[in-house]
Each structure stands twice: as structure tokens, then as C-alpha cells.
Structure 1
């Protein structure tokens, strides 16, 4: 039987995108093709250039569709790629909301345009992914037809990330696995470790990832005299991530907005104690004093205090790790979740071909 074809629109290097595509190939027996914009949105001028590139994107995507004849087009985000998928010559388009709204930043000059593009994509997609229930309020506000919404995280490869280690660490060894961009508020983390250093606490802090804020973050570690204790590893192969997480005892993430974070799932499965920002997207998965800690956005003093308090409460951390690993197995196993997603795609294709 001939394999069904899917064209994926989105940044192929992102871990979320890799999981999505890999799961469809492995559990849905699909043939995947990809297309993405080439210009990064890492500066004002690049964002302008990316917008100009977007003006020719429809022609290029339609050219691929005419040649390869995919059965389905799927797209990250409900704005740029999502709009592109729904306005293209695709037989059907499935889009995924990546953040709480995807309309971000709210003060951007492109915000009004993004809102128009999103409304079109919502209306014309045959299926809309919400990777968690935290994404539903924005969809309801946008008057989305909720019968088209599938609420289910992609999940992670639990077997790859799961750690049975009960090693007792002799110091705080924290890891950050988010892109080095301003919205992730990494300076809050570095300032917290600056306080720990001033208080005489030993630690190691590791950043995995790349981004335009790298040099500023490096300079901040120098200014706070902690550069010898902070590592910036850059972007690593995805299959190297489990071992790096399993060598740490704390996972930190301090963004001011969040959808459903696969990075958090990975850390939970790996045995890292999660300390994350107190925002809606994290509250869905983390309950304070039970399976992690929530810290107010930009409050580096609270983060420093939480790190010390939690590090000294070994029993609580052990219990939290057990809860988290069970939680990820139950709701975040990508073998289970991607099988359900793949089945839904096959149903959509079968239905369309019978019409």
C-alpha cells in the first residue's frame, strides 16, 4: 500500500518539530516532507527580511504541493506557517498553536497582521492542535470551532529520557535547555546564581541551546564573577540531551509566557527537579511543594532562595522526581500520544478521499 504523504511547514531544527515528525513516521507510517523560511527572526532587520521572504512563500509551497501531491499539510503555529498551510493548495491543513495565543509579542508592529492571519487559519484548518488545555482560553476568545480542536501533547520519548538514578549530588547542578532569547529571561537565572556565589554556595550551571542573547548572557556571568561555573554548550544533537539532563539535579526555566513545554517533560522524566516561572502554562503541570516549584517572573532573589531551600530538602526532591516520572509516563508518552495523533490524520485523509 502506498504511504500517505505529509508536508510539514515549520522550523525543522526545533525539538518539538523533530518529535512531531518522527512520531508520524514511526507510529503513522507517513512519508514526511518539509519546508521552512530560511531567514531567522533574531533581529529587527532579519524580521523585516523574514516578512519579505514570507511574501514569496506561498508560491514555493504550492510548487511543492503540485509536484509531491501530499495528502495533508501540517504547520507549526497558527500565524505564519499555519496561515500559509490554510491558504495554500493543500488538500487539507492541520495547524498547531505553539503558545498560549501565538499572538506574541503583543506590542509588536506585526501583531495586528498576525491576528488576521490567525483568524483565517483557525477558520480554514480541518484540525487544530492544542498541546495542552492552557491553550483553549485563547481559542475560545478567538471563537474557534472547538469541535476541530485536539487537546493532547505530543509527548516525549520517555524511554530515552527516563532515569532510575538515585545519585546524591554534592552541589547544585542546574541545567537550562531553552533557546537563548530574551523571552526566556535567562538573565534572571544568572542573577540568581550570582547571589548564590556571593553567599558562598557551590554550583554548576549549564545552558544548552543557542540564540541571539548568547554574548549578553556570557558577559553577565563575567560581570557577576561566575563565568567559571557556567557552561554554554550551544545547540546539541537531540539524542545528546537525555544524558545532559541526567547529569543535573535541577531544571530551570523562567519565561514570561509558555504554552506546553516539551523541555519541561524531558526534565521531569530525567529526574531533574523543576523550578519554573509562575505562569499559567507551567501551573498546568507543576504543583508547588508537590512536584516542583513556581517562582514569580523575573524574581531572581526568590529563585536563589528556592534553589537553596529545595537543595537542602533531599526527601522532597526524591518524592517530586517519582511523581514527575509517573506523570510523564501517564500523559506525556509520545509513543501513545503520537499514535493517537497519527490515527486522527489517517481518519481525516480517509474521509476526504471518500468524498
Structure 2
């Protein structure tokens, strides 16, 4: 198994080494910073709420952008992306962390559930945050399994009664239908299978597309395996592919009117003297455009975060006045993105 993993890593690296991704360059100057904005194709900025599903929100944006013709102006559900990823990645249904490109790929297997379904389901649920809702579904399944083990009849036990006495979407299912989902699922798979059953009338089937730029971070342990190889080939491991090269990759895709997801450290948003700066962690967002800032003489990315319309989190003095509280978008100089970027992901255009 370890031998196969090593061969896979080597093959993957050779593919990267032969691509244009590793051609180092500087960030864009005025002549090359042509204005681009694809935000109109994605809908309103998302709000991930109190759960760490930033990767799922930007993966849902990738799906929305890629399949916009099939979605007819609707957004893909970020919650369904997350619980689908957690099922196929064999993690807990309420797990926070995840990976962008695998999440987008997994979500194509069963179809895309619209964000409007998720929003309505959350609004009518007795649990008003995504984390509480997922935790409640886990509790419902665990209680059902325990009652089954004790050979108790399927009845209105407390966890179920919470839903039955509300306007929850679960009430669209009869006791028999709900029991069928509970019987044919595990704690890990129940949330996705339940949502799949409820969203079935609205589910949008799409043609499977693997033409998505894979994340290097998808390979476990790759950063421990590659440093000497990269050093011997005189390739700057900063990190692995080089941050400047990743920024250039974003610019290249924007030149093709493409939407790009990327991962990075959130400290670029915070005042360097603040506690949030010290405790910052990994995050994922999207880049929908760019424009030249003539006053500051810099090319700025239009960053699409998943924190709603609030601008209060952006305390870095370098970003003062760059967030639009009407939309939630923030303009960030490309050299600031370059400081902590770790990866990019995007669907390749059909002509590529």
C-alpha cells in the first residue's frame, strides 16, 4: 500500500513539474491587470455560520459557476456539499475541515441540491444554526439505533418529537419513510441520505466533470516527502509550488474569465498586533475578479469570502476601506494574497 502511494505521489509531482504552474513570474503590473469580474454568475456572498465549512462554501461556488446553465441561476447548497464530503471522506457528519476539489467532485455523484432548499430547511428547523442542525440529526440517529438495540418500538421519542412539533422539512416524511432512511444509514451517512431524500424533487443532476485542478494538499504527507526532490531540481518550495506561481495561476484563470478557489492563512485579514492574528488558521475563499488600484499602484483581487456581508473581521490596516458592506466582497492586493496562499482549485475551461 505504501509503495502504491509513493508511486502515485511521484506521478502526480511529475505532472506538476511538466505543467505551466511552476513557471515563476512576478505579480501583475498595470498593463496586464485587465479588469475582470465574474461575481454576477455566483449569486450573493455566502455565510458559513458557526461551522467550519469554508471549503464547502467555496466548493459550492465552484459547482455553481461550472454548472450555472443547469442550475438556472440557483446556487449549489454548501451544506449538502459538506455532508457529502464527510460521508465519502469517512469523517464525522459535523466535521469542520475538508478539501475543496474533492468536495466538488464528490458532490457530482448524487446531484446538486439548491442552496434555496437548504435556506428554507434551516429557517423552518427547530435548530437555527447549521452546526446545531447537523448535531441534532446525529443525535436522532444515535437514539434510534439505541432504541433499536433495546428492541423498543419506533415511536415519538424526544429527539423525533422535537421535529414533529415544528415546521421542519422532516415532517414531509411519514414515520415509515423516516424509519426507512434511519434503517438504511449509519450515524455518518444519515444526514446526507436524509437530505438526499428530502431534496429529491429539487435535485439537479449534472454531467460528471473531472477537469478540475487538483489540490496538492490532497496527498497526505506530501510536504514531508518532497522537499529534497524539489530542492534538487532547484524549484522553490514556498510552499511546494511557490506562492508567486499560485498567484500567477489565479491571474491566468481570471484572464479566461474563470472563477478560482484558493486556500490560505487568515492572518492576512487581521491587525498583526491582535489576538486573532496570532490564532489565525487555514481558510478557503474564492477569487471572482481583479482591477488595478491606480492610487496604490497595485493589482487587486476581488475576494469572495463566506462570512456574509460583514466587514468587521478585516482589521488589517492594509485593507482599510476595501470591504463593501453592501455585498461582503473585499478587494485584496495580489501581493497580500501571495503572503499565505497554499493552494488553488478551479474547473478547467472547456477549450483547455
Q: Same fold (TM over 0.5)?
A: no
| TM value normalised by structure 1 | 0.26
Which of 1 and 2 has higher RCO (CA within 8 Å, sep 6+)?
Answer: 2
| TM value normalised by structure 2 | 0.26
Asked which structure has the greater CA Rg, the reply is 2
Higher helix share: 1
